[in-house]
Amino acid sequence: MTLTRSIFAVAGAALALPHLSPHFLTAAFSTPLQSLDSTIVRGMVADSITTSSDGSIESLDGRTDAVATSRYIVQNRFRVKAGREAAFEKRWADSKSRVGNLPGFRFFCMMRLVNDNKGGRDGDDDDNERPNYVSSTVWETYDNFEAWRKGDAFKESHGGGTIKGVASMLLATARNTKGGKPKPAYWEGLLPTSIEGTPPADGAGFRTVETDGTTTLPTDCFIAMNRFSVRPGMGGAFEARFASRESTLKDYDGFKGFLMLRRDGNKKPNDGDEPDDGCTHSTFSVWKDRGAFEAWRSDSAAKPKPKAEGSGGPPNIYASPPVPSFYEGILALESTPGI
């Protein structure tokens, strides 16, 4: 009873403070490759960038050695308790949302960590605090995200905007996850490569998926991320290295989309704080299934690697070794333009 009363009190306070509640609710609902065998950095195409007269990469806002932003990505990282996975997924499956019909929406999925010792460091240990579910929404712009966050659609998908609804949401979060609220991660999306998506045929803004709360949901797609901790001042060079590569991803069966992600703040967008996990950049590639991804990775690994320029080799731009992570995507929601 004490927990329930406390949750109702918090929910009421959140709704009574409209200038605070969006950030509160986002938080309440809402780790990098010298290589992934050096293959994930190969074949990424530039978009919305120009080349200056000296051959360096220049973004549209005039910054040299930095790639322009083409998307905005919001993720929320959850640590779901053992045995509560199906209940957690059901809560999301039952959520009412029309996010897919909003201006600027590109892609959504709930990412379920693959922990089978095949996917790199994220699957190599039994860290009970590591996020094992990540909600991920791709928008065309930050303004599109802000419009959703401040609008009625946000309230509808977060308890319906009522004290009872928000309290129910928070209670379910407390039951299903460790530490209660998830940790947000905000990203600027660079170098998009994608194919046309398939939104729901009925025009609905969210997927309708039947679930009993005891069985986890079937996989809709496979997501590969490689998280990088780039040294201060080296971000532009890191991004330019990616932008200079020619992409062949669209040539592979099962490819759905790619983005290079650049961290935008920590607890809030562009708050100037260092990321809580030290990750400054990440790849984000979406595939029909794991088999399609593995076929691409095997083919890429067999190709000759680019040679480093100069006798000294490339500078050490990483503060720590990159960490690959792999996920099954559930509740995937696509837009016609794709990622």
Q: Higher-confidence residue: 181 or 222?
A: 222
User: Which has the minimum average pLDDT: 53-67, 144-158, 299-313?
Assistant: 53-67
Mean pLDDT of the chain: 78
Q: Is the pLDDT of residue 120 over 70?
A: no
CA dist., res. 279 & res. 146, Å (int): 23
Q: What is the rounded average pLDDT of the residues 228-245?
A: 92
Tell me the per-residue pLDDT of 82-91, one tens digit each, with 9 for 90 and over: 999 999 999 9
Q: Is the pLDDT of residue 10 over 90?
A: no
- Three-state DSSP class for residue 164: helix
pTM above 0.95, yes or no: no
- Three-state DSSP class for residue 187: strand
Tell me the per-residue pLDDT of 295-321, one tens digit each, with 9 for 90 and over: 999 998 888 765 544 444 456 899 999
Work out whether the CA dihedral 335, 112, 230, 298 comes out positive or negative: negative
Going along the chain from its start, the domains and CATH numbers come out as 31-160+179-334 (3.30.70.100)
Q: What is the rounded average pLDDT of the residues 243-272?
A: 94
CA dist., res. 11 & res. 21, Å (int): 9
CA dist., res. 89 & res. 56, Å (int): 45
Question: 45 Cβ partners below 8 Å, 6+ apart?
Answer: 191, 193, 245, 246, 247, 249
Q: Is the pLDDT of residue 119 over 50?
A: no
